Structure 1
Amino acid sequence: MNTKILVTGATGHFGKATIEFLINKGTDAKNIYALVRDATKADDLSAKGVNLKIGDYNDYESLVSAFQGIDKLVLVSGTDLANRSAQQLNAVKAAKEAGVKHIVYTSFERKNETETSPIAFLAQSHIDTDNAIKASGLTYTILRNNLYLDVLPMFLGEKVLENGIYFPAGEGKAAYVSRNDLAEAAANILISEGHENKEYATNNIENYSFQDVAETLSQITNKNISYFSPASEEYAEVLKNAEVPAEYIGMFVGFGAAIEQGEFNADKSDLENLLGRRPLSLNEFLEQVYL
């Protein structure tokens, strides 16, 4: 039987990478479906023979229609933080109604699931979606993805090599992981068996602090990169004076506090097993970006 796989958020980084890995690993493009809101932004996927399905997380009927005949659904978490819970619950309910057999969801690593979490604004939608998937009766695989290595340059700022690192994360560590590695792990799950009703710790195999980042950057660039962790209030004020939008300030401050509190410090990882190799390391990632 030809398993029909649908990937949501297919024009985004994660969705697109997952589709590319599926094709590279031998999945026939005619069995891959890409959920997009605007077909004109998915010409590259069409050119590869991937089927386009038009759908929107806000439009329940469009999701039910798009999910018809799909065996495995990759639900890539949305970017509309204010509405994400409702949108993703729509997608889970639609998957159930359409008869999807298996849902793979990109959730995230966390320890504190209460409102006291510095990133409760981000966490709640993931927790709601995880719970809805488990309650739906659908066969599922939940990926508890750690912070992307790919977001580090945003935290570090454009002038990190000149000015050093200024970020309010204290000595906290995180098992930062490459987005591409996570997408490849998702593709491997989709094309193999034994992942039914599993929750995977998709963390890197090492934890890194911002001091580690500074030292690694110093080594690979032959510059002296310092790290200073300001108080959250001071950091927020500096960003405000630099005219950074308020929602970004809140997000950066929240992530800094969560990292400092150890929210993303992981003591286990399933990623090496899912990939069949070691995940990309901090050192390798920083060399790709800064050399």
Structure 2
Amino acid sequence: MILVTGASGHLGSSIIQHLLKKIPANQIIALVRNEAKATMFKEAGVIIRMGDYHNPASLATAFVDVHKAVLVSSSDFNDRFGQHKNVIDAAKAAGVSHFTYTGISLKNVNTSVLKHFTEDHFQTEDYLKESGMAYTFMRHNLYAEMIPLYIGRQVLDKGIVFPAGEGRVPFALRDEMGEANANVLISEGHENKSYNIANDVNYSFQDMADILSELAKKKIIYTNPNQDSYIDSLKASGLPEHMAQIASGFSIAMRDGDFDLPGNDLKNLLGRKPTDLKVYLQQNFYSERRK
């Protein structure tokens, strides 16, 4: 039996969708907080169990008869490490033999501007190592699906305005990361290994502007504003102060090369080359405009 936490979220649901293509539904357990959000999987024959990362008691029976589990990191930043610790403790107590964790790919958490935002991922990894369970760390780089949040959807008219300088990121599709996670769960030889889940090519925001210029057959300008004016523009658009600061932090991390970690792990786990950024941009910016 394979258990997937966060099953109603984007990544968790992607992992389950890919597992359903490879193993019977009754071998998959979806752990959710709200059963109503798991209707699609329940109808497909997936076993649904309830559990809350914040509530150890709710997790006590979630891992019964589970051989492998994947912990999709929490999107709730209120004591995220504590939440992860609760899940790992419950899995260990139930006798889970192989535990996979979806963390983050970052060059050096201690020097990154995002240290306060990401260090709990590495605390989770350390705690999982100490648990005695066989582990696999799936260190995810940035999702291509996040690009519209960084640059907006009016780039064909307004250009790209984002303070990442010449920083480069190996953006990859979240669904392909989900597929890679599913492939690890159904195969052997991944015990006590760490994978850098990223595209094998890295891209700058100038590269994005050049690709969009090619697709639109007109010049798309990339502008690298200073951080203060960028934050002011986000707040003027209605984004709360704390969200504007988080967006600014990610742009600084990109500028500083914190995510510049392309590699072949995703390609090897998929058995094919990951989707190129040009394909994503064409489908999500240029094709939308033509409809």
Name the TM tier (shorter chain).
Answer: over 0.9
RMSD: 1.1
Aligned match of 2:15: 18
Q: Distance in 2 between matches of 1:269 and 1:95?
A: 30
**Given that residues 85 and 124 in structure 1 are in contact (C-alpha distance below 8 angstroms), is that contact kept between their aligned partners in structure 2?**
no
Aligned match of 2:65: 69
**Given that residues 199 and 262 in structure 2 are in contact (C-alpha distance below 8 angstroms), is that contact kept between their aligned partners in structure 1?**
no
Q: Does 1:7 align with 2:4?
A: yes
Aligned match of 2:256: 261
Deviation string 1:176-230 (CA, Å, 9 cap, x unpaired) is 1110111000111111111111101111000000000111111112232111111
Deviation string 1:6-50 (CA, Å, 9 cap, x unpaired) is 00010111111111101112x010010000111111110101000
Deviation string 1:53-108 (CA, Å, 9 cap, x unpaired) is 00000011211210111111110011112331111111111111111111111111
What is the Cα deviation at residue 250 of structure 1? 1.3
Matches within 5 A, 1:1-291: 4-25=1-22, 27-114=23-110, 116-290=111-285, 291=287
What is the Cα deviation at residue 144 of structure 1? 1.1
Letter in 2 for 1:18: I
Tell me the TM-score normalized by structure 2: 0.96
Letter in 1 for 2:30: A
Letter in 2 for 1:176: F
What is the Cα deviation at residue 267 of structure 1? 4.6
Identical aligned pairs, as a percentage?
Answer: 43
**Given that residues 81 and 121 in structure 1 are in contact (C-alpha distance below 8 angstroms), is that contact kept between their aligned partners in structure 2?**
no
SS at match of 1:66: coil
SS at match of 1:158: coil
What is the Cα deviation at residue 158 of structure 1? 2.5
Q: Which runs of 5+ in 1 are unaligned?
A: none
Deviation string 1:111-151 (CA, Å, 9 cap, x unpaired) is 1222x422123211211111111111110110111100110
Q: Distance in 1 between matches of 2:255 and 2:95?
A: 42
Tell me the TM-score normalized by structure 1: 0.96
Q: Which runs of 5+ in 2 are unaligned?
A: none
Q: Distance in 1 between matches of 2:76 and 2:218?
A: 38
Number of equivalences: 286
